[in-house]
Structure 1
Amino acid sequence: MSEFDTEVLVVGGGPAGYVAAIRAAQYDLDVTLVEENTLGGTCLNRGCIPSKALISAANVAHDARNWSQMGITADVDVDFGRMVEWKDDVVENMNRSVEKLCKANRVSLLEGRAAFEDEHSVQIDGPNGESERLTFEHAVLATGSRPIELPGFEFDRPGVLDAKEALALEERPDSLVVVGAGYIGMELSMLFAKLGVDVTVVEALDTMMPAFPSDLVAPVSSAASELGIETNYGELASACQSTEGGVTVATEDVDSEERREYDADKVLVAVGRSPVTDTVALDRIGLEPDGDGFVPTDEHGRTDLDHVFAVGDVAGEPMLAHAGSAEGEIAAAAIAGRGPSAEDRAIPAVAFTSPEIATVGLSREEAEATDHDVSVGEFPMRASGRALTTGHTDGFVRLVSGDDGVVLGGQIVGPEASELISEVTLAVEEGLTTAELAESIHPHPTLSEAISEAAANEHDLAIHTLNR
């Protein structure tokens, strides 16, 4: 019998943690997963899934109102409360599924907050005030992240929302100020605008969604304007005052310090997230976050302690659910003595805006900064028969390849970009060439044909767009 209570302790049940736990159990390890709140973490309960559920619902309402060119007119009534109830049902069903999967894979589940006592034990404080000590051979930290608070915009103030609270509103606000024009801020801005909310965005930088190339963001910026979203760049949110009717948000121009004020029912703060490291007593085991607050790891997720791993948001960028899940699998494999490292993994990034944006691998500029002779192939969505049949033709597919024709990266803006990027991700991961993508037969009419056409365009052989 082992000298430890469990072989693998996983702290945190989000997409990084529960995946690590299930994979470790599939490797016949004895696994205990400790989660303070609800399985699924921020992604399933307060982020990815609820936001995409409401985005899908808002898209249905918006499209129904704007399909007159297809001969469809409709007087759409949005029952926001019922929409939120439906979203909650989706989340609850997925939450139950995660719990069933953990149990079916023989993962022991404990509810509570775990904090290290020493290098091989934790104290778990349960929801009813009880506590217990648990010893472990290996530990995986998957404590995730939390939204960043701005001074004067604390989330416990009336009318101030983080993304979680915005997605849990029982009534639709008439007006909303969004602080931050990153991908979360713009996803939610467009969601609420499509539901008839008057949305104003304030952003300290001079651009929208700076994590993505500007030409990918341009169609999103145009769509935001068409939705009536007012976007104000170069303005730093400086103060928030609760009023009888809602809130007043004060901003300062970053160059002139000119002050402006915006009145709204609510203000949503979406300026990023920070890793959660203050709950597990890292100092007791000699671990210390880096300057950005992340727990440093190697390519296997291993920290400075060989038997302690960190995965997901707490381990650093990219702070994406699917990246965390992959890291969880890698850490579990390392603990079990098998599997690959995280080196050279192609990780896509997606914004569920209108239109969607998706990228993977190197951009044109990043590839040109290497020793490669770069080739680029593009295909506009307006030339896609399938895009035309959906009424959504903004955007394009771009493939970036090196002098050997191997796909180094891809960028997509347009309908279903979040789905299309997987083919490009596979190409980058497996070292496929644009010639191989161009020769692969895609079903017609589909949006995926845009990928093979972009690949062919790189060789001046595209059929449905002019070659450059």
Structure 2
Amino acid sequence: MASYDVIIIGSGPGGYVCAIRCAQLGLKTACVEGRETLGGTCLNVGCIPSKALLHASHQLHEAEHNFAKMGLKVAPKVDWKQMLTYKDDVIGQNTKGVEFLFKKNKIDWLKGWGSIPEAGKVKVGDEVHEAKHIIIASGSEAASIPGAEVTIDEKVVVTSTGALELGKIPKRMVVVGGGVIGLELGSVYARLGTEVSVIEFMDGITPGQDMEVARQFQKILTKQGLKFILGAAVQKVAATKTKATVTYKMRKDDSEESLEADVVLVSTGRKPFTEGLGLDALGVQMTDRGQIATDGSYRTSVAGIYAIGDVIDGPMLAHKAEDEGMAVAEMIAGQHPHVNYDVIPGVIYTHPEVGSVGKTEEQLKAEGVEYKVGKFSFMGNGRAKANFAAEGFVKLLADAKTDRILGAHVIGPMAGDLIHEVCVAMEFGAAAEDLARTCHAHPTYSEAMREAALACGDGAIHA
């Protein structure tokens, strides 16, 4: 029986980052992982492979629509098999990178699926290991369509996992769910020539997003060829070996309609993955939403057992899990870390990208907060116009009295990178004027952020 200071169950972004931080702090550490490779959903069948396909399909779009304008004469042709090989190579590089980091930091990889037979012990296969501290970082899995008849086979009716390895590019695809995952993968296949229809229960896409950004986002995606059916509740997905029919009801009048497709992508969110851990027998308290209940220090109701990432409350984001992984490691080591949940950015990696942090206008109105808005369109940004990337805008929200930045929402080029300037500003309690008075290099996309900050005061320069 091996003995450790810490055993982490799950090697996704939360788990492997936590393991590395524990090892850095001098704790004898092991990480349990049942997959053949480390990295969890994110590196194997989530964030990383989807970004590879988004990148590849965007290059195709550029070749088809913008290369000729720049004097580049090409006739692109899609080799789907090679594109999947490229995607798999990217996965391999990243998962092998985590394995290297485990070896570098002397972290033991306990290969297999883990369970917790009792506090202080983790069972992997037939072996039981002891640990002073056990951290559950087992992540999440795709959720099905609430109240609908659907069987997922990962060939015709797929989750994001199956959508990343289809045997061929479908002619028609129905995406159930207008959230981040569905729109990212839907945009990939739309660029590859698939007729993509998105069915969303709510009356707008990306629920929870700033509404002005969401409306602009939908307009841009519609121009790119995606079709949207909003306010529709999917009732049934009936599939054969090669086709599927999606039956749905329109909420406004209860009328029933249907769509046929070669592939149906079910992207209606994710749910915590805790199966097989033995939490019920241990008496680990759960929430009404099936998450593991934790206190402010990530402790569960059972002494010595912690939980982080997608299995606990909060946004199911890799970087949120990473921050929690570092925090719980430092707590165990006797330090006093802090995760600022008010400054966790969200990004949608379509083209253009969408980046957001902090409050939306809708939230500020509901809370009765007096605020001001600074907006700037990428049409006024020289770099964006030169790169055929002038769609979208930056919106900065600041307190009307103190000028302190309360939130930011960006739809446009490199939004996922630009948003972090505001994250740093918010972390240090900066005002819009602080951002406006900071020199930004020219020509860069980031100038649009400064212009939006200027718009919170006397006005943008290039508007």
TM range (shorter): over 0.9
1:128 matched residue in structure 2: none
Q: State the Cα deviation string for residues 331-351 of structure 1 (Å, max 9, x = none).
A: 101111103122455100011
2:144 matched residue in structure 1: 149
Q: CA deviation at 1:138?
A: 0.4
TM-score by length of 2: 0.95
1:327 maps to which of 311, 324, 336: 324
The two structures, once aligned, show a CA RMSD in angstroms of: 1.8
Q: State the Cα deviation string for residues 281-312 of structure 1 (Å, max 9, x = none).
A: 11232212200111122232222234211111
Q: CA deviation at 1:379?
A: 1.2
Q: State the Cα deviation string for residues 321-373 of structure 1 (Å, max 9, x = none).
A: 00000000001011111031224551000111232111111123333455753
Amino acid in the other structure paired with 2:113 = R
CA contact (8 A) 1:182 1:209 kept: yes
Q: CA deviation at 1:119?
A: 1.1
1:112 matched residue in structure 2: 112
1:238 matched residue in structure 2: 235
CA contact (8 A) 2:210 2:361 kept: no
Aligned residue for 1:16, secondary structure, equals: helix
Q: Distance in 2 between the 1:41 and 1:430 partners?
A: 32
Q: Which moved more, 1:154-163 or 1:447-456?
A: 154-163
Q: State the Cα deviation string for residues 78-98 of structure 1 (Å, max 9, x = none).
A: 111100100100000100000
1:55 matched residue in structure 2: 54
CA contact (8 A) 2:58 2:351 kept: no
1:449 matched residue in structure 2: 447
Amino acid in the other structure paired with 1:379 = F
Segments of 5+ residues of structure 1 without an aligned counterpart are 126-130
Q: CA deviation at 1:270?
A: 0.5
CA contact (8 A) 2:352 2:391 kept: yes
Q: State the Cα deviation string for residues 414-461 of structure 1 (Å, max 9, x = none).
A: 111001011011011111121111111111000001111111111114
Q: Distance in 2 between the 1:48 and 1:172 partners?
A: 20
Q: CA deviation at 1:237?
A: 1.8
Amino acid in the other structure paired with 2:144 = E
1:264 maps to which of 253, 261, 276: 261
Q: CA deviation at 1:255?
A: 3.6
CA 214–344 in structure 1, closer or farther in 2 if over 3 Å, else same: closer
CA contact (8 A) 1:299 1:341 kept: no
CA 104–345 in structure 1, closer or farther in 2 if over 3 Å, else same: farther
CA 215–371 in structure 1, closer or farther in 2 if over 3 Å, else same: closer
CA contact (8 A) 1:453 1:464 kept: yes
Amino acid in the other structure paired with 1:142 = A
Q: Distance in 2 between the 1:365 and 1:235 partners?
A: 23
2:195 matched residue in structure 1: 198
1:167 maps to which of 145, 164, 167: 164
2:435 matched residue in structure 1: 437
Q: Distance in 1 between the 2:279 and 2:224 partners?
A: 46
CA contact (8 A) 1:46 1:163 kept: yes
Q: CA deviation at 1:156?
A: 2.6
1:140 matched residue in structure 2: 135
1:32 matched residue in structure 2: 30
Q: Which moved more, 1:36-45 or 1:218-227?
A: 218-227
Q: CA deviation at 1:71?
A: 4.5
CA contact (8 A) 1:223 1:354 kept: no
Give structure 1 regions of 4+ aligned residues with deviation exceeding 3 angstroms: 68-74, 367-373
1:225 matched residue in structure 2: 222
Amino acid in the other structure paired with 1:319 = M
Q: Please tell me whether residue 216 in structure 1 is matched to residue 210 in structure 2.
A: no
1:301 matched residue in structure 2: 298
Taking only the aligned residue pairs, the percentage that are identical comes to 36
Q: Distance in 2 between the 1:208 and 1:325 partners?
A: 27
Matches within 5 A, 1:113-128: 113-125=113-125
Q: CA deviation at 1:75?
A: 2.2
1:315 maps to which of 312, 326, 329: 312
Segments of 5+ residues of structure 2 without an aligned counterpart are none
Aligned residues: 458
Q: Which moved more, 1:227-236 or 1:410-419?
A: 227-236
